[in-house]
């Protein structure tokens, strides 16, 4: 397909908000001869068409195989059959593990915990990050013991991006056990992860998390990190005090 044809396709894609595109047309113009970014844009449109786009995606998969852009679109369409295909692909074609896991993120809450646990035991940073993204959607289904067991390896990882991503997972949870684990990173992590742990405790902003943040002031040595913890604690206490005062003032006005 020549440059003019690609320009015409781009033009129609760019007008898709005004003039919705037919799934069949998208399937007809898709070709492995197109530039990668155009193939991705075409299949993305098919994915966004959900149940109308999935049958066309199935035909393309049969025709050209499990291309990365088709895997991505399968995740976007959020169809049950697409999920089954992705899980089958995960077992059969290990070289496609990363794009498949990324496509499965929207089903993170439905995936078996054993699958997520296996991914979190991988050594590859991209795979670990993909596994942590899946775990974000599973957090609310797990108790503290299971959650903390799952994240022990990524929390001990020497790579900051993995520890930071794990902290973002834990930050979604409010419990004494999880807050204590976050505090441990504040005390023993790298400068980058320790700062992130302090901010996480501050953002959780519960009585327990603020109490742990207060205890950190006695455990951290005199350092910029300790000053940061003190500042975050003061900001949260001031915010809570201001909120209480506003509530009391509003109640008082209601009585007059």
Give SS3 for 148. Answer: helix
Q: Is residue 200 part of a domain?
A: yes
Same domain, 54 and 147: no
User: pTM (2 decimals)?
Assistant: 0.84
Range of the structural domain that residue 11 is part of: 1-77
- The answer to whether position 120 is within a domain reads no
Domain count for the chain: 2
pLDDT at residue 45 in the model: 96
Residue 4 has pLDDT above 80, yes or no: no
Is 56 part of any domain?
A: yes
Q: Report pLDDT for 33.
A: 93
Residue 93 inside a domain? The answer is: no
Q: Give residue 1's pLDDT.
A: 45
User: Do 138 and 73 share a structural domain?
Assistant: no
Long-range contacts of 234-239 (CB under 8 A, 24+ apart): 235/202, 236/202, 236/205, 236/210, 237/210, 239/205
State residue 253's pLDDT score.
64
pLDDT band, residue 176 (cuts 50/70/90): very high
Average pLDDT, the chain: 90
DSSP 67: -
How does pLDDT run across 179-217, given as a tens digit for each residue? Answer: 999 999 999 999 999 999 999 999 888 889 889 999 998
Looking at the structure, tell me whether residues 139 and 237 fall in a common domain.
Answer: yes
Indicate if the pLDDT at residue 2 is higher than 60.
Answer: no
């Amino acid at each position: 397909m020549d440059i003019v044809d690609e320009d015409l396709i781009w033009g129609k894609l760019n007008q898709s908000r005004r003039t919705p595109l037919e799934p069949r047309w998208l399937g007809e113009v898709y070709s492995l001869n197109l530039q990668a970014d155009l193939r991705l844009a075409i299949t993305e449109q098919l994915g966004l068409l959900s149940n109308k786009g999935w049958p066309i995606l199935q035909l393309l998969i049969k025709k050209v195989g499990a291309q990365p852009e088709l895997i991505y679109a399968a995740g976007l369409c959020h169809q049950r059959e697409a999920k089954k295909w992705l899980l089958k692909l995960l077992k059969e074609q290990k070289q496609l593990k990363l794009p498949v896991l990324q496509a499965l993120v929207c089903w993170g809450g439905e995936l078996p915990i054993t699958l997520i646990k296996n991914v979190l035991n991988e050594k590859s940073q991209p795979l670990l990050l993909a596994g942590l993204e899946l775990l974000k959607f599973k957090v609310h289904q797990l108790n503290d013991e299971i959650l903390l067991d799952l994240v022990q390896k990524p929390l001990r990882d020497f790579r900051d991006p993995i520890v930071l991503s794990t902290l973002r997972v834990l930050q979604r949870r409010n419990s004494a056990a999880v807050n204590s684990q976050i505090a441990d990173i504040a005390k023993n992590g790298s400068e980058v992860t320790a700062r992130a742990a302090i901010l996480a405790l501050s953002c959780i902003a519960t009585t327990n998390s603020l109490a742990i943040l207060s205890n950190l002031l006695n455990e951290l040595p005199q350092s910029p990190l300790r000053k940061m913890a003190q500042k975050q604690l003061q900001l949260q206490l001031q915010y809570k005090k201001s909120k209480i005062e506003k509530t009391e003032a509003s109640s008082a006005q209601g009585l007059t």
